[in-house]
């Protein structure tokens, strides 16, 4: 079916199956390959995007359920929290292979938008749906604390 | 020619098996997956005993994994027919919808997504801690659901409405492939609880 969806602030037309997961619409139809496929069953977080500003797993969201909601991907995420996370990620050299990191960054930004000074527990609970096979978890947690401090100042 | 005949015979056998299965479907006896209809309790003369028996029948639903998984004893839901701790670790949070950055609808969208076996509903969330049923006896669950201090301030009418009409409760009968539906139907479950209320809403002793 032909659809118009808003991604990263721009209206896009796509012609895809009704039940195509948003992930594959982004990657295959729109060429936005920054959002990754890890599991396809909402178990790893690699496919995390924002839907109307809220983090969601795009691998289990059929495009027919998106409606008029706006999608933000790693290519389009912006604002103070995104910049702070980006800086903290670079300073801590967080990624190893990098595969999970677009999902990690989206979840970290989502957390900091809602919780200004997250505790270790806040971070663990918000981030544990984002699996990292390189086990960069310790650096991720430290970088989120760094980003929170930078946002305070 | 032999091969064509063999194929025909095989086809006929397959069709017969299908028809037999269909007949078995329509004539099957009630099983644990059904709920006894309300009139079948009429032979219990004592009203209190009848009320308790009705509640115990409804309890097949209340204690089914489709219901208990989201009425867990801890802050973490369960999943699957085996009632394993939810993977990934998620918690109830302040409003039953999870915590900032990881809410139920981060993964559970507005409907079941069968291709990934991820269940969904627009209001997907956990019951409040005061309504934990995991590990409780039916008597304890009965006292709990009648208590407005624990059941979210519901009087009997609101409670019956929740059980019989709420569409998230109703998801328990349409859980998608790989998950056993709750016994019977939501209507039959609602009818049992209505009859239980009408007979004094008595609770099992334990
Ligand atoms: S690809 Fe979506 S959660 Fe793994
Ligand atoms: S950096 Fe390799 S999977 Fe996370």
ipTM: 0.95
Residue B81 DSSP symbol: T
Least confident of A47-56, A114-123, B6-15, B138-147: B6-15
Q: What is the mean pLDDT of residues A106-129?
A: 98
B196 within 8 A of B55, measured Cβ to Cβ:
yes
Q: Look at residue B206 in the predicted model and tell me its pLDDT.
A: 81
Distance of CA A83 to the CA centre of its chain: 14
pLDDT in tens, B32-82: 689 999 999 999 999 999 999 999 999 999 999 999 999 999 999 999 999
Q: Look at residue B32 in the predicted model and tell me its pLDDT.
A: 62
Rounded Cα distance between B160 and B190, Å, is 7
Phi/psi at A8 (nearest 5 deg)?
Answer: 50, 40
Least Cα separation, residue B109 to chain A (angstroms) = 7
Q: Look at residue B24 in the predicted model and tell me its pLDDT.
A: 40
- Closest atom of ligand 1 to A42 CA is 3
Average pLDDT score, chain B: 88
* Chain A residues near residue B116 by CB distance under 8 angstroms: 40-42, 59-60
* Chain B residues near residue A140 by CB distance under 8 angstroms: none
Please give all residues whose beta carbon lies within 6 A of any atom in ligand 1, as ranges.
Answer: A 37-40, 42-47, 57, 59
* Chain A residues near residue B91 by CB distance under 8 angstroms: 125
Closest residue in chain B to residue A43, using alpha carbons only: B88
Residue A85 to residues A36, A102, A121, A141, A148, Cα–Cα distance (Å): 19, 11, 18, 11, 8
B32 within 8 A of B180, measured Cβ to Cβ:
no
Q: Look at residue A153 in the predicted model and tell me its pLDDT.
A: 77
pLDDT in tens, B171-197: 999 999 999 999 999 999 999 999 999
pLDDT band at A135 (very low <50, low <70, confident <90, very high): very high
Q: Look at residue A71 in the predicted model and tell me its pLDDT.
A: 98
Task: Decide which of B31 and A9 is more confident.
Answer: A9
Partners of B98 in beta bridges: B103
Does the pLDDT of residue B25 top 50, yes or no? no
| First-last CA distance in chain B | 69
Q: Is B32 helix (H, G, I), strand (E, B) or coil?
A: coil
Does the pLDDT of residue B199 top 60, yes or no? yes
Judge if the beta carbon of residue A100 lies within 6 A of ligand 2.
yes
Does the pLDDT of residue B26 top 50, yes or no? no
Judge if the beta carbon of residue A138 lies within 6 A of ligand 2.
no
pLDDT in tens, B80-124: 999 999 999 999 999 999 999 999 999 999 999 999 999 999 999
Is the bond into A17 cis (omega within 30 degrees of 0)?
no
Q: What is the mean pLDDT of residues A4-22?
A: 97
Q: What is the mean pLDDT of residues A94-111?
A: 98
pLDDT band at B15 (very low <50, low <70, confident <90, very high): very low
Q: What is the mean pLDDT of residues A128-138?
A: 97
Ligand 1 site-directed mutation target among A47, A56, A102, A106, most atoms within 8 Å of CB:
A47
Of B89, B99, B116, the CB nearest to A42: B116
């Amino acid at each position: 079916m032909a659809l118009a969806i808003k991604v990263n602030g721009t209206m896009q037309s796509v012609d895809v199956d009704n039940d195509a997961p948003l992930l594959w619409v982004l990657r295959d139809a729109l060429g936005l390959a920054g959002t990754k496929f890890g599991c396809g069953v909402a178990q790893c977080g690699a496919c995390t995007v924002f839907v109307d500003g809220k983090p969601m797993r795009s691998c289990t969201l059929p495009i027919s359920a998106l409606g008029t909601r706006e999608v933000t991907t790693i290519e389009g995420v912006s604002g103070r929290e995104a910049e702070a996370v980006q800086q903290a990620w670079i300073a801590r050299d967080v990624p190893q292979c990098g595969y999970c990191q677009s999902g990690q960054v989206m979840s970290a930004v989502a957390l900091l938008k809602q919780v200004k000074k997250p505790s270790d527990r806040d971070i663990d609970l918000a981030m544990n749906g984002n699996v990292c096979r390189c086990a960069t978890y310790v650096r991720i947690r430290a970088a989120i604390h760094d980003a929170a401090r930078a946002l305070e100042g | 020619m032999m091969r064509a005949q063999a194929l025909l015979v095989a086809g006929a056998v397959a069709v017969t098996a299908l028809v037999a299965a269909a007949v078995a479907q329509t004539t099957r006896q009630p099983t644990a997956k059904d709920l006894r209809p309300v009139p079948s309790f009429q032979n219990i003369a004592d009203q209190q005993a009848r009320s308790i028996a009705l509640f115990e029948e409804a309890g097949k639903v209340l204690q089914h994994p489709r219901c208990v998984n989201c009425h867990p004893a801890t802050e973490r839901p369960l999943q699957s027919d085996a009632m394993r701790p939810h993977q990934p670790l998620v918690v109830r949070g302040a409003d039953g919808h999870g915590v900032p950055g990881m809410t139920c609808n981060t993964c559970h969208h507005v409907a079941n997504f069968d291709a990934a076996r991820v269940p969904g509903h627009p209001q997907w969330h956990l019951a409040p801690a005061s309504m934990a049923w995991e590990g409780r006896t039916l008597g304890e669950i009965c006292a709990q659901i009648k208590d407005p201090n624990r059941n979210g301030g519901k009087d009997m009418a609101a409670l019956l409405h929740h059980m019989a009409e709420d569409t998230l409760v109703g998801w328990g009968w349409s859980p998608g492939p790989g998950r056993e539906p709750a016994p019977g139907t939501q209507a039959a479950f609602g009818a049992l609880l209505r009859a239980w209320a009408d007979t004094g809403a008595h609770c099992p002793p334990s």
